[in-house]
Amino acid sequence: MPLKRIVIKVGSHVLTEDGAIAKVRMLSLVELTVALKRDRYEVILVSSGAVAAGFTQLPLDRSSVANKQALAAIGQPLLLKMYQEKFAMFGILCSQVLFRSDVFESKKHINHAKVAIDTLLENNVVPIINENDTVSIEELVFGDNDRLSAHVTHHFDAELLVILSDIDAFYDKDPNKYDDAKRRAVVTEISKEELEAEHSPNNDFATGGIVTKLQSAEFLMKHNREMFLASGFDLSDVKAFLVDGKHVGGTYFKRK
């Protein structure tokens, strides 16, 4: 059976707890990645968390973009060190791939990057992608890697993007505000109003909210790819979906 290439994106909120990197959750993500690799998947990670990791070392005011750039520079090597230690427990190498936000505007740069990603995967190495937030601030300001991970999925030829969020699915309205919000299990079409709604990030570190996730889903479905949005706090839904082929929780953005 051919390997199925997927991208897993983990948001800042999931990777952060009380202003520090949530190590237990990071370990769960690494365990999931290892289990998927042993199954039939090639896994690319897109990980936020550099600013939060930097903040553990130097508590600069995060409301300034300049400070976030500096914190990302401090935190990115720390974040990767944590991943490396955790993957090493399973005898697996991981790697750091940093992109400027405009990398996907140039065919030449996309091709160079794809060669590197393919070579890492062929050698059983997990690529861990992040935006280079010190020099290119788009995702720092808006998007929190939702958009980046959609481009990674499309241009590096993955079938599915898994977004692990602080929310366990897409609802008909914001479940943090409305008790009667209903989960949308399968989505094949997203309305213009939903795509253009105001973005609504849920905490200090998150910058995307649900809208950037919907925009990513729309982009992927248009390009004949798919997306699965599930909780990054409890990985049972994503495990059921990917390992057991069972759709229990989460939202499946399915191509028609």
Binding region for ligand ADP (CB under 6 A):
11-14, 144, 165-167, 170-171, 173-176, 200-202, 206, 208-210
The upper half-sphere exposure of residue 144, i.e. CA atoms within 13 Å in the direction of its Cβ, equals: 30
Write down the least CB distance from residue 45 to ligand ADP, Å. Answer: 14
CB 89, min distance to ligand ADP, A:
25
CB of 183 to ligand ADP, least distance (A): 8
DSSP string, 225-245: -EEEEEESS-THHHHHHHTS-
Q: Nearest to residue 250, comparing CAs of 204, 200, 190, 187?
A: 187
Intra-chain end-to-end CA distance of the chain, in Å: 24
Listed in order, strand segments (DSSP E) in 3-140 are: 4-10, 16-17, 20-21, 41-47, 94-99, 126-131
What are the Cα distances from residue 35, in Å, to 4, 39, 224, 232?
14, 6, 26, 16
Q: How far is the CB of 16 from ligand ADP (least distance, A)?
A: 9
CB of 120: closest distance to ligand ADP in angstroms? 25
Question: 187 - beta bridge partners?
Answer: 253
Q: CB of residue 160 vs ligand ADP: minimum separation in angstroms?
A: 17
Residue 118 or 174 with smaller CB distance to ligand ADP: 174
Instruction: Check residue 188 and give left, alpha or beta (phi > 0: left; psi -120 to 50: alpha).
Output: alpha
User: Which of 44, 72, 43 lies closest to 56, judged by CA?
Assistant: 72
Compare residues 147 and 225 and give the one whose CB is closer to ligand ADP.
147
Q: Which is nearer to ligand ADP, 76 or 95 (CB)?
A: 76
Please report, for the chain, how many H helices and E strands are present, in that order. Answer: 10, 10
For ligand ADP, the nearest residue by Cβ is: 11
Nearer to ligand ADP, 20 or 88 (CB): 20
Nearer to ligand ADP, 13 or 155 (CB): 13
Nearer to ligand ADP, 134 or 200 (CB): 200
Give the residue carrying structure tokens 């949530």: 22
Give 95 or 207: the residue with its C-beta nearer to ligand ADP.
207
Residue 104 C-beta: closest distance to ligand ADP, Å: 20
In the chain, what is the greatest distance between 2 CA atoms, to the nearest angstrom?
Answer: 50
